[in-house]
Structure 1
Amino acid sequence: MRTATIVLMTTVLVVAGFAPATVAGGAATDATQQDADCDYPLTLTDTTGEEVTLDEPPERVVALQPSDTQTVFEIGAEDRLVGMPINQYTDSHDPGDRTDIDISGDTHVDVETVIALEPDIVLADNVTEDGDVEQLRDAGLTVYHFDTATSIDDIRENVRLTGQLTGECAGAEERIDWMDDRLEIIESALEDEERPLAYWSLGFGYTAGAETFQNEVLTTAGVQNLAAEAGLEGWPDISDEVIVEQDPEWIIYGVDDEGDDPGLSEGAMATTAYENDQLVAVDANQINQPAPHVVYAIETIVEEVHPEAYAEIEAELEDDADTDGADDDQSDASDEAIPGFGVPVAVAALLATLGALTRRQ
């Protein structure tokens, strides 16, 4: 479904998932190989069937939509970012002196501004208008147009592909590992918890049903998604009759920094959830953008709906942080063991002396 055809709202639903890409030109196909380096030349096939080729790591990157921007920052590729949308949907990222890529009508981008930046690669979230992508390509720019994200796996692929497209594969794999580590802790803590019914309100009568990444965000956070349970898919509008009939125990909705009214319908306000004031406000940018910050949205929901499990999660995350700190201290101590050499460097030097060191490509 094209969100551009729906008047979706002040929260701008930015859905940029990724279908499996075709990799050519010697690009690594094994995830463990992708950890170290991006291999170029690189060819990826995007959602339009276009083969996008990069002969070398890009030096100038433009992100057309907020989720593209978030992912670039999250994987550490922002030093290559020369243009991005600068608005309330990207306000958690410092724009610096980057050029603002103005967005109108929720999805339409300022093509002329993008062309003037002469980027090596343009990252185009799936809500970007096909016509805009065509104009950019007609102007000679290399554009990767992403597919719709319908799961957290798609978000992982989002991160991985963005790493390849920006020359930051190692940073992408690190961020995926960060997501997986936290999600594993959450899953373990919620294993024996009951899963109450929850209504996710996008505002103005819209919701997210099955086959959406928000549905998986909700289920991962330990609730059942009312829309999916009612047989709805995608991002449909939902009637008050269905909401009242399902009678959720919780209502979850997105808010911006100003905490605007969630726009609940009369049906939502006639539910057990509303009557018992069981409402969960989630950062709209975290839950509406298919990017790493969906993990924070999940944690917010868990904190409200499953407070005891959340306490376990917090404790384990703190333990992990302490362990990482101890590892860092040990690493520092090891680095000081041989003046001028860390352990890996010293070992490498020894192996080189023995003639046994080979360089991994």
Structure 2
Amino acid sequence: MKRNLKILSLILAVIFITGIFGACTNNTNQQASETTQAIDTSVKNTTTEKFPLTLEDSKGTKVTLKAKPEKIVSLPLGTCEMLMSLVDKSRIAAMTYYADDAKVSNIADEAKGIGKRIESNAEKIIALQPDLVFMDNLADANVVKQLRDANITVFMLNTPSNIEQVKDNLKLIGKIVAEEAKAQDLIDWMEQKLKAVSDRIELMTDDQKQTVLDYSEMSTTSGKGTNFDDIVKRAGLINPVSKDGLEGWPELSKEMIIKYNPQIIILPSWYYDTKVNFYTLNEKIKGDKALANIKAVKNNKIISVPYNHISSVSQYSVLAVEDIAKVAYPGLFK
């Protein structure tokens, strides 16, 4: 009888302590029963993902994930940036080396010590024995085949060419890694950032919008169907190359610069060729007498914006919209 009373007392004590702990962590005056109900709801929300899950990747291949992926390898930098905000860091087995380069990566500090660094090498990836590998549609087909022949699950992702496609990738990746709610949170954050810019420029007419060109170290620019074109339009600027109907990344001749006479020229802040930098490219343009009357040259509006923003194909791409809008219309962002 005494033993039964001791057991009953212990059970009551545990229930009492649990009730107090639940109330404290919620910082509310809710009863223990409400806390328990909330916990039950949370558990249900985290177990709604159904595996095995079959989805079609960007190459039209049907990929089946047998269970929630817990050991993920990501080669595209944009996907690495998304995963760092979507999954527990312990689930990231390896990422591209570019994740550590702060000039191109938005996760350089956060990624320190998270997973290994990997390149597009089938043997090295197989050695990690991941249960999921993310690659983009530009990946080496031979590497993809070797991985799949080794029974490694590979999911090919579309390389976004605008911010809406970035959102699409976030939704898809969120579904694959069973973190759809977090993916939606990131999309909501993106939309808030975009709205903060659009609210300031919504009353501008086309004749009030500034014209802008980008000019790469390879003397190319960005036309229709590029991330740059989408970003500058959202920032309230006009890309005359796109307006002229030129697609992709056409060569930007001196005659084209004169014809378009942009108010702003954007140069990269990061270069593949280490012999070239912002200052050398800037001086090349300014030193050309034929370009002396270009508005961007006369008004000293040859600029760069953070390359990790403007080159991003993840949620961080919206920061480039903000960067450019603030340069073009500083008065609207005071």
User: TM above 0.5, one fold?
Assistant: yes
The SS at the match of 1:251 is strand
Q: Does 1:281 align with 2:309?
A: no
- Equivalent residue runs for 1:1-361 within 5 Å: 37-87=48-98, 88=101, 89-90=104-105, 91-102=108-119, 109-193=120-204, 194-256=208-270, 260-261=277-278, 263=281, 270=291, 271-311=294-334
Output the CA distance in 2 between the equivalents of 1:265 and 1:205. 14
Output the CA distance in 2 between the equivalents of 1:282 and 1:165. 33
Decide whether aligned partners of structure 1 residues 77 and 298 sit closer, same or farther in structure 2, where only a CA change above 3 A counts. Answer: farther
Output the CA distance in 2 between the equivalents of 1:277 and 1:261. 14
Deviations 1:122-142 (A, max 9, x none): 111233222222222222111
Amino acid of the residue matched to residue 220 of structure 1? R
> Structure 1 residues 176-185 or 121-130, which shifts more?
121-130
Structure showing greater relative contact order (alpha-carbon pairs closer than 8 Å, 6 or more residues apart): 1
Unaligned 5+ residue runs, structure 1?
1-33, 103-108, 312-361
TM-score between the two structures when normalised by the length of structure 1: 0.69
Decide whether aligned partners of structure 1 residues 134 and 222 sit closer, same or farther in structure 2, where only a CA change above 3 A counts. Answer: same
Output the CA distance in 1 between the equivalents of 2:237 and 2:53. 41
How far 1:163 sits from its partner (Å)? 1.2
Output the CA distance in 2 between the equivalents of 1:42 and 1:280. 46
Q: Is the 8 A contact 1:126 1:148 kept in 2?
A: yes
Deviations 1:294-349 (A, max 9, x none): 111111111111112223xxxxxxxxxxxxxxxxxxxxxxxxxxxxxxxxxxxxxx
Output the CA distance in 2 between the equivalents of 1:58 and 1:223. 42
Deviations 1:44-73 (A, max 9, x none): 111211111112210000011211111111
Deviations 1:58-97 (A, max 9, x none): 0000011211111111334533111011232333542315
Decide whether aligned partners of structure 1 residues 97 and 150 sit closer, same or farther in structure 2, where only a CA change above 3 A counts. Answer: closer
Amino acid of the residue matched to residue 280 of structure 1? I
Structure 1 runs (4+) greater than 3 angstroms displaced: 34-39, 76-79, 256-260, 262-269
Amino acid of the residue matched to residue 100 of structure 1? R
How far 1:35 sits from its partner (Å)? 10
How far 1:38 sits from its partner (Å)? 3.6
How far 1:253 sits from its partner (Å)? 2.7
Q: Between Structure 1 and Structure 2, whose CA radius of gyration is higher?
A: 2
Partner of 1:354: none
Number of residues of Structure 1 aligned to a counterpart in Structure 2: 272
Amino acid of the residue matched to residue 99 of structure 1? K
Amino acid of the residue matched to residue 95 of structure 1? K
Output the CA distance in 2 between the equivalents of 1:256 and 1:266. 17
Output the CA distance in 2 between the equivalents of 1:36 and 1:195. 49
Q: Is the 8 A contact 1:254 1:281 kept in 2?
A: yes
Q: Is the 8 A contact 1:240 1:266 kept in 2?
A: no
Q: Is the 8 A contact 2:71 2:91 kept in 1?
A: yes
Q: Is the 8 A contact 2:159 2:313 kept in 1?
A: no
Q: Is the 8 A contact 1:38 1:169 kept in 2?
A: no
- Give the aligned CA root-mean-square deviation in angstroms: 2.6
Amino acid of the residue matched to residue 171 of structure 2? R
Q: Is the 8 A contact 2:160 2:166 kept in 1?
A: yes
TM-score between the two structures when normalised by the length of structure 2: 0.74
Output the CA distance in 2 between the equivalents of 1:73 and 1:141. 22
Output the CA distance in 1 between the equivalents of 2:46 and 2:209. 36
Decide whether aligned partners of structure 1 residues 148 and 278 sit closer, same or farther in structure 2, where only a CA change above 3 A counts. Answer: same
Unaligned 5+ residue runs, structure 2?
1-44
Output the CA distance in 1 between the equivalents of 2:64 and 2:283. 47
Identity of aligned residues (%): 28
